Structures are given as structure tokens and as C-alpha cells.
Amino acid sequence: MTEEFMDETVAVEGAEGRQFVVFKVGKEIFAVDLKPVHEIIRVPQTVEVPLAPDSLTGLINLRGSILPIISLRHILGFEQKQNDESTRALVLSAGQLQGFIVDRVVSVISVEPDRIEPVDGVNSSIDGDLVSGVIRDIDAYPLVMMLDFNRIVEKEFAGLTVTGDNEGFTEIQSVEKEVDEKSRDIMQLVSFSVENQEYGIDIYNVLEIVEIPEIIVHVPNVPEHVIGIMTLRERFLPLISLRSLFCLSERSADDRSHIVVLNVGHTVVGIITDGVSEVLRIPQNLIDPLPEILSHENKMNDISQICRIDNGARLVSVISAERLLHNSSVKEVLETVKEMNKEKEGTLYEKTSKHQEEQFVVFKLEEVEFGVPIASVQEIVRIPENLTSVPKAPEFIEGVINLRGTVLPVIDQRKRLGLSIIERNEYQRIMIFMVGGVKTGFIVDSVTEVLKISGSDIENAPRLSDEQSQLLGRVANLDKQKRLIQLIDPEYLIEEQDRSLLKNLDKDSESIRI
């Protein structure tokens, strides 16, 4: 119980009978048994949850746990009002912890059992199923209704569950690059630096980015650029120093140094960089093959292309993951590590555990943060000045766009999540996913960053409705950053019954001229 109400609690501690917290909602006076009440708090700012029942105000982070905040005014059919100095949230256990907003907490009282009466015969506008009994003539109140919060939860939030567990997260900034709409293809590169030179590697070969461990095991009789192996989730990962591979002087790792974990086929290796910068989107017309005179240099064998950015003022060397992993010296180490890993159980990259990390693209809708797995995002583009409408298209289709010769349906994500509609603005973007076999664009308010989030920070979201629990089944609880990011499963961006309509639209769009 918070300090504000501690004195009242102690005052009745020795009293006989049942203890109740008495509170006011609208013009009615209610009571709840003191035992399930964990504390009484002021109502902080909440994070809105789309597709949830209207009575859910949102979620908060209460000392590391995700807590649903529920409006009793809405549940009881009262007119909504702004929170004020008297507004409080009763944090109590009704299956799981949740907070219920009340207009004012009156007191904590002790009631003799014979003062509690059944609800039968009480004339009130309150749903009788939500009231377990009444207390008459107590503390100047002629009638106090005892609310049954378990029934409230059963009625409003069938299957509500909350879990909590929090540690840190690793953040990698992402700088969104403008795309030339006329270019035919785009290459996405994770860019990093080595000796102040910028390099990039295809994002599809990047599994993750991790910090350099304190312990690296040396492997004898290998080339200098293979500096050893590290343990990553109970498996051995060979490490290659790009500085050594490129015949540069070695230096001690610092806070910016990171390992980029690459995957080609079933082969996994880590490359050590001076620092990871951003995710670049480069049109193919700005990418040239490595000049032939340089391709004969041994130390340039792993570089396949050069990107020209900012009118050639910025050059990015593209490393071929295939060439790097098929380097003869690297292959020898990989064979050694393969034998070592045979002695260990499990697989290197399985579904996220408490110690693994996931990478998400974060975007906003109504200032609420959402995240989608980075692997599910095909592209992010600006909204054209005019979306082409399609006759007889489903209501949820905003229009179609022509993206480098391909016509894509576009859906306003605000509409999809039941949020208010806003006018188009320069910050909005279209995020493109493959949904039900159809490449589809979704309009969001803004794309903000790419985050790597520890599995220990990811929890099951409160189950508030069937649709919400499928689409928004998880939430990232970044306690240190005081952020809650709702994680979207792209597989459920389109409801099952609408997918056939989307496929038909995809076929019809072949005849649309934009």
C-alpha cells in the first residue's frame, strides 16, 4: 500500500471483521476487499493498445511489470472524464495484477460480517452480476456496493494474462535512406567501419550484431586474421578480424566495436568491426563492380562492389559474404568448429530464449510505438502524392501504388487497428510486407529506428481480445528506457477472411495503369 493510504490501513489493522477499500466512481460508492489490493497509485501516462476492449485505457510499466489499466467508469456505464488530482488506480489481483481507475479513494474500513447483505432487491443502475454484496449505513454512506473484480475481468477480458521479467537491451540506430523510385532494384546493406573506411554487407546475410565478449578462445595453427572462437548461445562461433584480413594494424576493441554475425547457407561466422553504423538502401544504379585492377589484389578478394552515395562523395565497399566464408583459411577453421559443435547439443539459432536477441523495425502510430521483425520488412518507402483508388476494392484498401513496375495494394494501418484517421504528412511511410503471398504496403505515422531487443525484455502481452492477442501477442518492456513497444506478428496484419479479397485485388491490379 502506498504511503498516502498507509495510516488508514494501520488504523483498522487491529479491528475485527473484514477490511475494505472504499472508493467513488461517478456518484456511486463502492468497496473492494482489502486482501487482493496490492497498492493504490496515481494514474501515470499509459500506452494505448489497439484492438483491445474500449474499457482498457492502456498499459503501464510498474516497477518492471506490464500492468493493464482499466476504466471502471467505462465498465459501469458512466460518462468518461479526464483524470484529476483525486483519480487513482487500484492495483489488485484478479487472476493477474491489473489496475482499475477510480475517481477517488475514500477510506479503508473494517466491516462486521453481519453488516454485509446480498445484492438481491437493491435498486441500482449497476449490473447486478458485477456486485457481490452491499454494505449499508457505513461512514455516512447509506449504501456501499461491493464490486466483484473477478467477474469484471471474466466479462471484459477473457483469458487476460500478464507476465514480467526485465533486463537490458542493445540498440542500433538506423538511418532511413531515400529511394529513387525510378531505380529498378534496391540493395540493403548493414554498414560498418574499419580503420575509418566504410564497408557494407547484404542485410540478408546478417543474422545479428553482438558485442565483443570478454573471453575469446585462441585456435592454434590458423592464419592471423582468424583470431579465435567465442561461445554464442551454447555454440562455438569463429571470429575473423577484418583489420587483419585487410592487412591493417590491430587495435584494442572499444565500446563501438561489434561483431556482425553472418550466415551463408548453414555456415555461420562472426566478423569484428570497429563500429556498426546504419542500414543503407542503395539503388542498383549507384553500385559498381570492383575495378578490375583492384580485384587482382589478394586483400581485396572479399570485396565485390563499390557503392557511390551523396554524388560520389561517400564510397562504401561491399563485402561478399560468400567469398569471405569460402576463403580457404576460413574454411579450415569452420571445419574445426563444426567438429567442436558436434559435441554440443541444440542448434545455434532457434526460437528466441531468455538470453537471445531479436531485431525489430520500430514505427509509431498516434505516438504509440510498435515493432515488427526486421526480416519481415521488405522495404520502407515514401507515400506518393496520390494513391490510385481501385473500383470495388475492399473498404480496408486505401489504394494502390506502382513500385518499380509492380502494383501494390496499400492499407492504412490506423484503420486496420481502429485508430483515428489523420491527413497525409511528410513523416508518414509505407512499410511493405509479404502477407498471404501478396506484397502489401501499410501506412504508418513514422519509422523511427531499428532495435535489437534481448529476449529477457520480451513478454506475452495481456490477452485482451482474440484479434489483439494474435496480431499483438508480445510486448517489449524496456524498463530502463521507460518504453513499452508492442510487437506485431506480420502474419496477422490481414485477417483470414480478407486475404482472398487481397489476392483477387492483386490479380486485378495487373490491368491497372498508374
pLDDT at 162 exceeding the cut of 70? no
Nearest C-alpha neighbor of 116 from the set 144, 150, 149: 144
C-alpha cell at 348: 545455434
CA distance 23 to 103: 7
Cell of 434: 509479404
According to the model, what pLDDT value does residue 146 have?
A: 92
pLDDT (tens digit, 9 = 90+) per residue, 454-491? Answer: 888 898 888 777 788 888 889 999 887 888 999 999 88
Q: How many CB atoms lie within 10 A of CB 264?
A: 17
- Decide: 286 and 240 in contact? Cβ < 8 Å: no
According to the model, what pLDDT value does residue 90 have?
93
Look at residue 44 and tell me whether its pLDDT is greater than 60: yes
Please give the pLDDT value at position 166: 31
Sequence-distant (≥ 6) Cβ neighbours of residue 10 within 8 angstroms: none
| 199 neighbors 319 (Cβ within 8 angstroms) | yes
> How far apart (Å, rounded) are the C-alpha atoms in residues 236 and 213?
13
CB distance 440 to 505 below 8 Å = no
Helices marked H in 205-356 — which ranges? 242-245, 292-295, 321-325, 328-342
Most confidently predicted of 4-13, 37-46, 134-143, 339-348: 37-46
Mean pLDDT of 161-168: 35
Least confident window among 169-183, 304-318, 404-418: 169-183
**What's the confidence (pLDDT) of residue 292?**
61
List Cβ neighbours of 461 (8 Å cut-off, separation of 6 or more).
Answer: 49, 66, 468, 469, 472, 473, 474, 475, 486, 487
pLDDT of res. 508: 55
Q: For residues 248 and 244, what is the distance between their CA atoms, to the nearest angstrom?
A: 6
Cβ-contact 400, 502 below 8 angstroms: no
> Cell numbers of 20, please?
475494505
Give the pLDDT of residue 363.
Answer: 93
Q: How far apart are CA 494 and CA 415, in angstroms?
A: 12
Q: Is 17 helix (H, G, I), strand (E, B) or coil?
A: coil
2 vs 214, residue with greater confidence: 214
CB–CB of 464/56 below 8 Å?
A: yes
From CA 398, how far away is CA 389, in angstroms rounded? 7
pTM across the whole model: 0.53
Query: Which H helix or E strand runs over 117?
Result: strand 116-117
Q: Give the pLDDT of residue 220.
A: 65
Which secondary-structure segment (H or E) carries 93?
strand 88-94
Single-letter code of the amino acid located at 398: E
Percent of the chain with pLDDT over 90: 16
Residue 513 grid coordinates:
495503369
* pLDDT band at residue 388 under the 50/70/90 scheme: confident
* Domains of the chain listed by start with CATH number: 3-156 (2.40.50.180), 170-342 (2.40.50.180), 357-511 (2.40.50.180)
Mean pLDDT score, 334-349: 53
Q: For 54-84, write each residue's pLDDT tens digit.
A: 888 988 888 777 888 999 999 999 999 999 9
- For the record, the C-alpha cell of 216 comes out as 575469446
Mean pLDDT, to the nearest integer, of 396-425?
Answer: 85
Question: According to the model, what pLDDT value does residue 351 have?
Answer: 43
Nearest CA among 225, 248, 221, 514 for reference residue 390: 514
**Residues 370-382: tens digit of each pLDDT:** 999 998 888 888 8
